[in-house]
Amino acid sequence: MFDVLVFGSCMIDFISYVNRMPKSGETIHSQGYEVGFGGKGANQAIASARLGCKTAMIGKIGNDGYGKKYKEHFEKEGINTDFLESEGEHSGVALIIVNSIDGNNQIVINANANKYMSADICEKAKNIFEQSKILICQLEIPLDATIKALKMFNGLSILNAAPALENLPNIAYKLPNIFCVNELEAEELTKITFNKVEDAKQIIQSLIREKGCKIVIMTLGKYGAALNIEEESDKKIYHVPVPSKNNLVVDTTGAGDCFIAALAYFYSKYPKASLLQKVAASISIATHSVQYKGTQSSYINFPNIDPLTEKFEHHEL
């Protein structure tokens, strides 16, 4: 039995650290450079495993040196790779620029091997689908494969709708139990501008009323997260801020994926905790990760958090 099944992308991260973002047409020197393992799906799988979940990964890697190293990396972390398949293509690549001053980033991805994910793999991996409690999906692989995975799965499903697709079909909003986006992705999907925390209420209400989402969690970076707590109800929208004790930001790359993994972990290990408690605990885990450089390399030294006893702030929007 698996606590978490991740269905999604694997990328190799090429990260440059700069003192400021370059202007259009400008070349600047980086202050540091790293190569690491990334991809939203793989990040979520690694973070889930390191938090203590028995985890399986379904995805595509390249038939190259990076792909071979990636599979070894998963296996070293204790992640099931029975359906981590290689293609005669370069492994997926993410080009990342991180502002060393505030830790914010800009990312461009090249899907490469990831674009060969198809709905067929769901049928091949049927046994793992049936043996898993929580499914995590994202949008860095072909949409038809993700839709098939969500349709097949009978447990709790989380769709991290990132990167945002302009013409995301309605079924993608309705299938998952939890629909999770950040503020930029939410703007793209609803065409509602986000300027302040209070704007999250209108955005979440739109995703429920007009798109058919059940539970929406909107991550807000340094402002925490906003969410509805009852399925298909937009009557009460809550804001959970980032704990005030966590204020060191080195690199925000992969923090959203860390949040998703933590949410799955708390659902799996603390079923009696409320959604607000799970989200608050997940914010604390993700906030911890931004204190370290890199993506998966930042998923270390996780604090031991019990959402049932941890004190947290929240208020209704």
Q: What percent of the chain has pLDDT over 90?
A: 79
Mean predicted lDDT score pLDDT of the chain? 94
CB 297 within 8 A of CB 267: no
Confidence label for 100 from pLDDT (cuts 50, 70 and 90):
confident
Any known ligand binding at 103? no
Any known ligand binding at 12? yes
CB 7 within 8 A of CB 123: no
Provide the domain count of the chain: 1
CB 148 within 8 A of CB 169: no
Any known ligand binding at 198? no
Asked if pLDDT for residue 75 goes beyond 80, the answer is: yes
pTM here? 0.93
Any known ligand binding at 38? no
Domain span at residue 111? 2-316
**Residue 126 pLDDT:** 96
Sheet of 225-228: strand order equals 80-87, 55-62, 2-7, 132-137, 156-160, 178-182, 215-219, 225-228, 237-240, 315-316
Domain containing residue 141: CATH number: 3.40.1190.20
The Cα–Cα gap between 48 and 254 comes to: 13
Give residue-wise pLDDT tens across range 276-294.
Answer: 999 999 999 999 999 998 8
Give residue-wise pLDDT tens across range 102-145.
Answer: 778 888 889 999 999 999 999 999 999 999 999 999 999 999 99
Give residue-wise pLDDT tens across range 183-205.
Answer: 999 999 999 999 999 999 999 99
The catalytic residue positions are 257
**Residue 247 pLDDT:** 67
